[in-house]
A and B are shown apart, each in its own frame.
Chain A
Amino acid sequence: MNTPTDTPVLVMEARGLVKRYGQVVALDGVDFELRAGEIMAVIGDNGAGKSSLIKALSGATIPDEGEIRLDGKPIRFKSPMDARREGIETVYQDLAVAPAMTIAENLFLGREIIKPGLLGRLLRIIDKTKMLEESIARMNDLKVGIRSMTQAVETLSGGQRQCVAVARSAAFARHVVILDEPTAALGVKEGNMVLELIRRVRDKGLPVILISHNMPHVFEIADRIHIARLGKRACIVDPKKISMSDTVAVMTGAMRPDELPAEALA
């Protein structure tokens, strides 16, 4: 559901990003855009440059050329921490949680609430009660149905774990949430649970960049689809006006973007 204004607000924008690894050109002048309040899916074959693009947007790699803008102002990320400071949270595939620690601890990992007072600040004592309350509030806010925040993450199902990771990024992101294959290796029911959560994150006003191989999931949830091909952007399509097979055809190079009907492009 895009806002039908003439000039949609771009939260994030990239122009002409280039990234070379020796002889290999991973990004060959790729463009990218993300509007306020949308879910932008990024799809592409292996080697199309989608993970390099995401790494550049999340600060994991520094592009050799090109420009990234956040809310219209140019930015240069030197590390994922820089991106995080700008309010961009990324959930990396399989790397999201510390399994033996509790849900509350995972939600606040690296951002623990410290007890007030001199002693608390000096000894860095954690305010467990407050972290627990906040965890419950945030998870309720996102309607994640997990009973106890003090249970270890490893006691959760795969989908619930992924929900914890997504909820953490949504709780702390101010600008953008980037999700790398959040539904990979999940069953149908579990996958749907995560998709529901992603939709709620978007509905709360945070734009989402979703990298996925799962076409049905992408078509179910994305507002627009960025098709990466050969280190460039082939085109952006509207999932409501294009078939899945045409999308795959463009992605694999079987069809050129200019062969698509004009209304399919977004």
Chain B
Amino acid sequence: MSTTSRLPPIASLGPLIALVLAAAFFATQSDRFLSIQNFSLILQQVMVVGTIAIGQTLIILTAGIDLSCGMVMALGGIVMTKLAVGAGMNPYAAIACGLLVCMGFGLVNGLLVTRIRLPSFIVTLGTMNIAFAITQLYSGAQTVTDLPPEMVFFGSTFAIGGAAVNYGTLLMIALYAFVWWGLRDTQPGRHVYAVGNNPEATRLTGIATDKVLLMVYVTAGLFYGIASLLSVARTGVGDPNAGQTENLDAITAVVLGGTSLFGGRGIVLGSLLGALIVGVFRNGLTLMGVPSVYQVLITGVLVILAVATDQLSRKGGR
């Protein structure tokens, strides 16, 4: 009974086992899967979803959900590239503007959730569409090219023993480490768990639960903004159609990583594993020559499986 971990051992090992099984399966299906180059590729593909998933984890920990994450990321990418290329703004200032726009969307989501008490599902369903429309209008549905080098820095790579690692992946891993520590060892981090666990009891202990929620939505927006910079850096362009697969992939990653949709339970590092699982699936299926429409189908099945596992394990735990 005197266990020190917050999750039962199976729940925390589940994502890791799933990752190993998926990798083993794809290794038998494609010779190229186990190559170092391919792992570099998977990591590069995962850095965008993985970074969005940090923000998504924070929101899901409060028993909310953010359907707008991918679209807000796409808007952030268009804002920073258009400002730098179209308006000739200093690249760093343009990046800052992109981050601020994403945080602004987080603020709007957070205000609607805390002030008007709308369910996060509905609020972010709305802002998802709003962000998508603004992205299309502002960009004229045109891809932004000829980016300044500062903007694509995180896409550049350096070699570690034959593997090309890009700086964006390192940034993502550093962000995971920081958020993991922050959620575990700081007062605001513990309050995020408390709000997700029992909002009413938390409010009655005197914690300003609305401030916690608002902080979570704005912080999530910041992570989407960082993800847009990584996405721009990886593709080398400002893409108005970015974020379409990342939207659901990020939610899938969080849930696969063992964070409960009911709030208050989960570890952010699990979301990194979840993002790797999603990345391995997409990569492996591509190597097998499976058409992308089936990848979408399989992601859909994955997210339902993950949520069902969450639901059943909570029932079993009671």
Contacts and interface: CB of A to CB of B under 8 A. Distances in A.
Interface of A: 80-81, 84, 90, 92, 95-102, 105, 109-112, 114, 123-126, 128, 147-148, 150-152, 154-155
B265 to A, nearest CB: 5
Contacts of A123: 182, 186
The 8 A-B pairs at the shortest CB distance, nearest first, are namely A110-B205, A148-B2, A98-B197, A124-B187, A98-B198, A110-B207, A110-B206, A109-B205
B270 to A, nearest CB: 14
Contacts of A101: 190, 193-194, 197, 264
B194 A109 contact: yes
Best-buried of A110, A114, A152 by chain B (most CB within 10 Å) = A110
Contacts, number: 79
12 contacts: A95-B200, A97-B201, A98-B201, A98-B264, A99-B197, A112-B190, A148-B1, A151-B1, A151-B2, A151-B3, A154-B317, A155-B3
A99 B186 contact: no
Contacts of A99: 197-198, 264
Contacts of A151: 1-3
Nearest to A81: B206
Contacts of A100: 6, 193, 197, 264-265
Interface of B: 1-4, 6, 182, 185-188, 190-191, 193-194, 197-198, 200-202, 204-207, 264-265, 317
Contact of A124 (B1, B186, B193, B202): B186
Nearest to A60: B204
A100 B262 CA distance: 11
B4 A126 contact: no
Contacts of B3: 151, 155
B188 A124 contact: yes
Contact of A126 (B185, B198, B206, B264): B185
Contacts of B198: 95, 97-99
Contacts of B205: 109-111
